[in-house]
Amino acid sequence: MTHVLSMLVENHQGVLSRIAGLFSGRGYNLESITAGVTTDSQVSRITLVCKGDDNVIDQIKKQLNKLIDVIKVTDLSPLASLHREVALIKVRAKPNQRGEVFQVADVFRARVLDVGIDSMVLEVTGSSDKIDNFIAVLQPYSIREVARSGLISMERGRKQSSPPPQQRKGASEKLNDDFKITIA
């Protein structure tokens, strides 16, 4: 099953490499990974999409938690959460096809970023499913290039998962969360 893990990590050099290395070294399946800073410049958020059975996902979460630079791991899959991805898609479109492409783009609320003599670049935002569909619908126009951002995600509601900047949030909480998962 696919899981979306949202993590807060120390904004140190090498953190992304530690996480990517964990996946490659232990043979876990990593589908996408995105990173960016949070409101606290010392903390980054990494969102990753991974696949595996319950045991594997349990191990992945524990192994991530074990990394010293990882402050908190949240599995967004069982929670009510929002997921978005951005894609840029370049299609071949002769002048007589442009109208059709515009129409399709309109249905998917995609934006046209660029129009060339025989090509167009479209930008679409949405769930990964929606983007897959959009790409499928564009197939007849011969897709030249696709760039996808990977997923970014957030839990619904008022809950805040960034640590307040000054408060050194104990990792005991992190491990306790993990522990609950273990005994559930």
Partner 1 sequence: MKISGAELFIKALKAEGVKHLFGFPGGVVIPVFDALYSEPEIKVILTRHEQGAVHAADGYARSTGKTGVCLVTSGPGATNTVTGIATANFDSVPIVCFTGQVSRSMIGNDAFQEADIVGITRPITKHNYLVLDRKDLGRILKEAFTIANSGRPGPVLVDLPKDVILEKGDDEYPAKVAIRGYNPVLKGHPNQIKRAAGVLKKARKPLFYVGGGIHIAGAVELFRKAVKKTGVPVVHSLMGIGAVPGDDPLALGMLGMHGTYLANMAVTHSDLLFAIGNRFDDRATGDLSKFAPEAKIVHIDQDPVSISRNVPVEVPIVGDAHQVLEQLLPLLEAPKIDEWLEQIAGWRKEHPLEVHTGTDSGADPDGHLRPDTVIQTICRVFPDAIIATEVGQNQMWTSLFFTFRHPRSLLTSGGLGTMGYGFPAAIGAQIANPDKRVIDIAGDGSIQMNIQELATAVQNRLPVIVAILNNGYLGMVRQWQELFFDRRYSSTCLITGAECPPQCKGPGDHCPVYHPDFVKLAEAYGAVGLRVTKDRDIEPALAEAGRIKDRPIFIDFLVEREFNVFPMVAPGAGNSEMMFSEGGES
For residue 48, the minimal CB distance to partner 1 (Å) is 17
Nearer residue to partner 1 within complex by CB, 58 or 132? 58
Among 1, 14, 29, 100, binds partner 1 (CB under 8 A): 14
**Residue 69 engages partner 1 in binding (rule: CB under 8 A):** yes
Contact stretch for partner 1 (CB under 8 A) within 11-19, 31-39, 120-128, 137-145 = 11-19
Instruction: State yes or no: residue 175 binds partner 1 (CB under 8 A).
Output: yes
User: For residue 27, what are the β-bridge partners?
Assistant: none
Among 32, 38, 63, 97, binds partner 1 (CB under 8 A): 63
DSSP per-residue codes, the chain:
-EEEEEEEEE--TTHHHHHHHHHHHHT-EEEEEEEEE-SSTTEEEEEEEEE--HHHHHHHHHHHHHSTTEEEEEE-TTS-EEEEEEEEEEEE--GGGHHHHHHHHHHTT-EEEEE-SSEEEEEEEE-HHHHHHHHHHHGGG-EEEEEE---EEEESSS---SPPSS----HHHHHHHHHHHHH-
Nearer to partner 1, 1 or 137 (CB): 1
96: contact with partner 1 by CB under 8 A: no
Interaction between residue 55 and partner 1 (CB under 8 A): yes
Q: What are the residues binding partner 1 (CB under 8 A)?
A: 9-10, 13-14, 17-18, 21-22, 25, 55, 58-59, 62-63, 65-71, 163, 168-172, 174-176, 178-179, 182-183
